[in-house]
A and B are shown apart, each in its own frame.
Chain A
Amino acid sequence: MHDLLQRLQRRAEQRLPALTRYRRPESLPIELHRRRIYILPTGFGLGFSVLLLVMLVGALNYSNNAALLLTCLLGAASAASMLVAFRSLDGLRLDHVRAGHAIAGEAMELVLAFHSRRPRSAIRLDLADGTAAFALDGREAIEVKLHLPTHRRGWQPLPRLRLWSTWPLGLFRAWSWLHPDQAVLVWPRPEAAGPAPQAMVDDARHMRLHRGEELAALRDYRAGDPQRHIAWKASARHDDLLVKDFEQPRSQPQWRLDWRRLHGMDDEARIARLARWLNEAQSQRCSYSLWLPGNDIGSGSGPLHYARCMDALAGLP
């Protein structure tokens, strides 16, 4: 049944290009307007219209004009709610989409920033199997968080999003498609287990100083130096303040991760192994460098460095 419906849907989209006009990827920002907002009654709306019909026939049959007036009022209010549903989407703008980090197979957090000039309520955004509901106050932009499932590493284009609302009474559903022309980068999934990186660079060079508490030199005060590092006694003999300069700790070993040393493996396996090593290096707070074909990333540490290395791995052909 589900497949049949999907087939019919695809068929309809081929036959009626008007339906798919706004489903091609577009560049951001996307502002919704009347040509791309669709409205249909919901199941409840259909049921409600049957109820209205029953009330109408009853009122007419008993020639009860007060009841007829009530029915007309309810019917007119329902019809008016359709326009309200349309207005809740019309003029809404998707400004930008920000993607988080995720490794293949895990959900990636997307942050979509919406903006509107007037307050709106109960707008819902469908992505894959998730739905997020949000309201806008008409002044500030709002950020909606959604999770995008990922399957494999590399650039993954954003899927089509459905923005919909049944505001105010749930009788009509207004919806529109958003297909931002943007892709997100999915990091490779590290292998589960494997050998440790063999090639460590000789550590002695980096163990020159330890703990970082040895005084290396005195230098001039620069704005922002902590007060307790000021060498008060030495400063007293000079015109300017002097600051004790400490050697930075270099206790961790440095790893040099190299694509070329992983012989006899296919590309994906190499990537998975490198990803695992990157993870280990990051968790051990090592300093590491990475060599990839066409990309040589120098030694470094910290989350930014890690992200840069993972991006490079993910972006490999």
Chain B
Amino acid sequence: MYPRWLWSGFSLPGVVWLILLFLVPFYAVIGVAFGSVDPLLQTPVPAWNPATWNTGWITQVLQEMAPGGVYWDPVRRTIYYVAISLGLCLLIGYPVAYYIARHAGRTKTLLLVLLIIPFWISYLMRMLAWVNLLEPTGYATRFLDFTGVSDLAVRSGLLLNPQSWLGGASITVVLALVYGYIPYLILPLYAALDRIDRSHLEAARDLGASPFRTFLHVTLPLSKTGILGGCVLIALPMFGDYYTPDVISGAPSTTMIGNQIDLYFHGGPQPTKGAAITVVLSLFLLIVMGYYMWTIHRATREASRA
């Protein structure tokens, strides 16, 4: 009943917008990364024509990112932080999402409201709250000291002394990343778990599986795409995070690769280097995103065949 051009017509404004303001800016980054710098103004001079590209910056950046180079430490550290934060987010977030989706009963609406409250609070404000709490005389520092958590952290080498949570500790940065990004994981996880048809679970019960085995063999596999989607949703932006280490730590020993990009773009004679690092980072993310899209594409095609 609908004309065939209607749906592509509807998509047109959005697609045009995204091309003009998403794809074209990426090309601007590429143009700058392969361009040069005005020596006087120290502003980048982009090279739009691929034939005129200056590959010096990209090759320098790639060399520096290899082990032993200047950027190797931030790159390695970023990968560690993202991997550990992702793991912690899943460890904490999955049970929460599972509880709300499956067992919450009457408190479900309340819990959902509480769940989305962090979305409404500025990320930086949540970090600011932690900066205040983790100062040497802050409430959290005193609480953690009182409960012995600080002692544990000091003894396992993660912390210098019970008051130095803000003294350039990697553990604080990881926990801040977890705190900041976990709401964005729980919501898609909740959505995925809520969508699981109860009849599957009932069937498993009918066939004699215990609750734990039902979870392991039915719920977990069915929520795989949700887990993957949530992980992609938080891991990729985390790779470019720079303000979290800045705000919560401020030490060179906890900087991430985003801090290097920020350094070159905030003045100085080499903004092209910042653009080159951005290009390399984007390429990496493009590959990960491509893999994710292919997985989802395959899963939805198979599911829609049913």
Chain B binds chain A: no
> Which B positions have Cβ atoms within 8 angstroms of A?
none
